[in-house]
Each structure stands twice: as C-alpha cells, then as structure tokens.
Amino acid sequence: MTTPDPSKPLTGAAAVLERCDELASHSSLSDGLIQRVYLSPEHAAVNALAAGWMRDAGMATWQDAAGNQCGRLEGATPGLPALLLGSHLDTVPSAGRYDGILGVLTAIAVVERINADGRSLPFALEVVAFGDEEGTRFGTALLGSRALAGTWLDAWWELTDEVGITLHDAFVAFGLDPAAVTAAARTSNDFVGYLETHIEQGPVLEENDLPLGIVSSIAGARRFQITITGKAGHSGTPWTHRRDALAGASEAIVAIERLARDADLIATVGHLEVFPDAVNVIAGRAEFSLDLRGRFDADRDAAWQRIEALLEEICSTRGLHVAVHQTHAAPAAHCSDRLRGVIAAGIRAADGSDDGSTPLELLSMAGHDAMAVAHLTEIGMLFVRCAGGVSHHPDESVTEPDVARALDAFEAAVLALADGHTLQDPA
C-alpha cells in the first residue's frame, strides 16, 4: 500500500468526468469527434494517462503483453488473489466519452478511496483498462480481454485493419512482441472475481427514474454473413425471367425482423452490399450481415434455425441461392449470484436505503469485457443511467450526481465482497 498524500483531494465525480474529457481529447478524428482504436498512438497516450492515475491511487502499474494497462494494490498480505475491476479505453468511430472509459475511471477512483482509508482487504485490487473491446480496428471484438482470459486465437494475427496492416504488424509497431501475447493470460487462481461499471446503453434506468442498476446477464451474439445470389441482367428484363438478389434479400431482412420480434430477440442487419450496384442492372448478388442476440442461447439458436429455413424458402420461391457463414458466436454470460448480491448491497448503501430490497436488474443486450473475463472468474456489473439510452454516439451523456452515486455504490460493493470474503474464505 502506498501512503496517500492527505493534502490531495480524492478523485470525486467531477474529477472523474474531467478525466473522461481529457481522454476524449486523444482521438484520431478532428472536429472534436472521438475515435481511439487498438494499438494506435492514441491508445498509447491514454494508457500513459491511466497509468499515472493508477499510480496516484496507490497502485503498481504495468502494460501487459497485449497492450492492456494494469494496476495493482496489494491486500492484507502481498500476493493475494485479486478482485479485478475494469473496462475498456478504446472506442467506436464518432464515439461518446463514457462507454468503457467511465468504468476504468470509476475503478481507479474507488481503489484510491480504499487506499486512502488505509483499509486492508482480504484480496488485492487490480484495475485493468482493456485496449480493445469494440473491435473497431480489426473487426473482432474483445481482443484485450480475451488476451487476459487466455482465449486468444492465433488465427487473429492475420486480421487486417482498413489500410491492410495485420494485427501481427500492429503489435510490433506498438512495441509489443506477438510471440509473447500468452504472457498477458491470467489464470482463475489470480482472481476472486471481476466487477465492471458501465453506462447502460439503453433507456431502462432512465425510464424507471433510477441512477443505477445490476446486470443479470450479458446476451451472447451470433453474427452471420449472408449471401444471396441471383442473376444480374438488364433492368428491362420481364418479370418471368428475373432472379433479383436484392428483392430476395429485402424480403428476407423484413422477415427476419418479424421473426425476431415475435421471438423476443434482437436481430440487426447493419450492412448490405449489392452487386453490380448499378441503376439499370438487376442485382445479381446481395450480401448482408446479421447480428442476432437474446437472453438465452437456446432461444437465440432456435430462432436462427427458423431464420435459415426462412431464407431457404424465400430464395427457392424466387429462384435464388443462399449461403450463410457464421463470423462470430459468443455464449450469454451470467453474472454470479454472489457478485449480483454485492452490487445490490453497494447500490443500497449508496442510496441509503438499506431495506434489503433488490435494486433493478437488467439484461445487457450489448457485449462487454466481462463476457471474456467470465472464462476465468465470476463476473458482476453495475450499470449507470445514460441520457436517452444513447451510446456509440457523440451525444452519450451521464450526470455528475449519477457518477457520484456510482462511485459510492462501486466502493460499497467492493467492501461488501471483502466482508463476505473474510467470513466465508479467510485468506
């Protein structure tokens, strides 16, 4: 434990929001827009800033072999397993300033408070600022957290960014050794659990007039590339001889939306390309993406089977051919009863409403680093209200009172876990 300087004020909500603004200034876009991708100069700059704040909070710091910025405050005795706190510092293009960032800065501020109070916990505290959650640069999400979880895939080295730089070469340019990436992998024995604070990215807390909520589980997504092939031809071709791939894709996209609504799932077609893409030529080929997510993997997978049958039916009626290729699959990640319990205790303590009631639990339809960390240890997440549920957009917004409440709740959650840990599992 580092001795805190009593003359220095602790990092409160206003200072956390100032740090969010400072991180937002490290962007590869101009005009105040934010984009910060994995292994970029901006990534290096925000790691250096985070490392400084971690050291101010009393932590020893290091950047791991995958470019994640890490810090550690020892517990009652050196070398204890750690409670891992964190989120990510990378962004989507034209991002907001809180998605991921708020979670890292909340974690650092809470460690600073616990260090300043001179508490010795029955576990160490570690903070991790993951370098890649969004997958903006290489198209595959959770690279940072999967390196830590030890689920890195060698096939990723050949992934390229939009200018053709491979992940392998980006590692080297960042000063990392690709051959050493396994050194970033931690083990289950290293951790007692993982807690993450994140903006909700949905309107449920706002609609319920609540600043904070508990995540029950994180929906797992499956993503597909779907290619429908017909026959390109002159736009004057009569109806009897047309095999229009775009008309087939359009019918399929609307049918997928209807099926997913009826099944209480979320389906998004966010990308569509048409070939040859000319005003007077029938589309010979249409390619589109599908992102499918739901509360339970079994429901989602059953819906996908129905979608596949639907695609076959639509295409055979229209004389088209369909091919599907899965590009991503993640199981739903469930937050543990124990960590949901400590987050509930934290929210109640911050509310001053210690009546034993359970604060609102929400399903996260968005993916988070916690999904990757769940491979190693139990996970828990605290959601913070964001204005209008808007995220991945410059309008992303949180309030200072909500952030203050989140800091109090997150600290109280860590201390609640420490109390329970001492009772159940003396270190």
Check binding of 90 to Zn ion (CB under 5 A).
no
> For Zn ion, which stretch binds (CB under 5 A), given 91-99, 118-126, 174-182, 251-259?
91-99
Q: Tell me the closest approach of the beta carbon of residue 366 to Zn ion, in angstroms.
A: 7
Q: Tell me the closest approach of the beta carbon of residue 370 to Zn ion, in angstroms.
A: 10
Provide the total of helices (H) and of strands (E) in the chain, helices listed first.
Answer: 11, 16
Cβ proximity to Zn ion: between 75 and 100 the closer is: 100
> For Zn ion, which stretch binds (CB under 5 A), given 98-106, 248-256, 343-351, 382-390?
98-106
Residue 277, CB half-sphere, CA atoms under 13 Å: how many?
A: 6
CB-based contact 175:400 (threshold 8 Å): no
Q: Tell me the closest approach of the beta carbon of residue 147 to Zn ion, in angstroms.
A: 17
Q: Tell me the closest approach of the beta carbon of residue 101 to Zn ion, in angstroms.
A: 9
- Orientation of helix 297-317 relative to helix 245-262, angle to 10°: 150
Q: How many CB atoms lie within 10 A of CB 226?
A: 22
> For Zn ion, which stretch binds (CB under 5 A), given 99-107, 241-249, 324-332, 418-426?
99-107
Residues within window 195-224 making contact with Zn ion, judged by CB under 5 A:
none
List Cα–Cα distances, 302 to 259, 309, 326, in angstroms.
11, 11, 15
> For Zn ion, which stretch binds (CB under 5 A), given 95-103, 150-158, 225-233, 377-385?
95-103
Cβ proximity to Zn ion: between 66 and 104 the closer is: 104
Check binding of 396 to Zn ion (CB under 5 A).
no
The three-class DSSP label of residue 52 is helix
Q: Tell me the closest approach of the beta carbon of residue 17 to Zn ion, in angstroms.
A: 17
Q: Tell me the closest approach of the beta carbon of residue 391 to Zn ion, in angstroms.
A: 8
Residue 73, CB half-sphere, CA atoms under 13 Å: how many?
A: 32
Cα–Cα dist 303/245, whole Å:
23
Cα–Cα dist 167/181, whole Å:
12
Cβ proximity to Zn ion: between 141 and 322 the closer is: 141
The three-class DSSP label of residue 333 is strand
Cα–Cα dist 272/290, whole Å:
10
Q: Tell me the closest approach of the beta carbon of residue 224 to Zn ion, in angstroms.
A: 23
Q: Long-range pairs for 324-328 at CB < 8 Å and ≥24 separation?
A: 324/224, 324/225, 324/226, 324/227, 325/224, 325/225, 325/226, 325/227, 326/222, 326/223, 326/224, 327/223, 327/224, 327/225, 327/289, 328/140, 328/141, 328/221, 328/222, 328/223
Cβ proximity to Zn ion: between 64 and 132 the closer is: 132
Tokens of 145: 């957290």
Check binding of 86 to Zn ion (CB under 5 A).
no
Check binding of 96 to Zn ion (CB under 5 A).
no
Q: Tell me the closest approach of the beta carbon of residue 275 to Zn ion, in angstroms.
A: 34
Total residues in contact with Zn ion, by rule CB under 5 A: 2
Check binding of 131 to Zn ion (CB under 5 A).
no
CB-based contact 32:21 (threshold 8 Å): no
> For Zn ion, which stretch binds (CB under 5 A), given 32-40, 48-56, 60-68, 92-100?
92-100
Cβ proximity to Zn ion: between 100 and 380 the closer is: 100
Of the candidates 42, 74, 90, 99, which one interacts with Zn ion according to CB under 5 A?
99
Check binding of 132 to Zn ion (CB under 5 A).
no
Closest CA to 364 of 339, 335, 390: 335
Of the candidates 58, 81, 96, 100, which one interacts with Zn ion according to CB under 5 A?
100
Q: Tell me the closest approach of the beta carbon of residue 369 to Zn ion, in angstroms.
A: 7
- Using CB under 5 A as the criterion, which residues of the chain lie in contact with Zn ion when the complex forms? 99-100
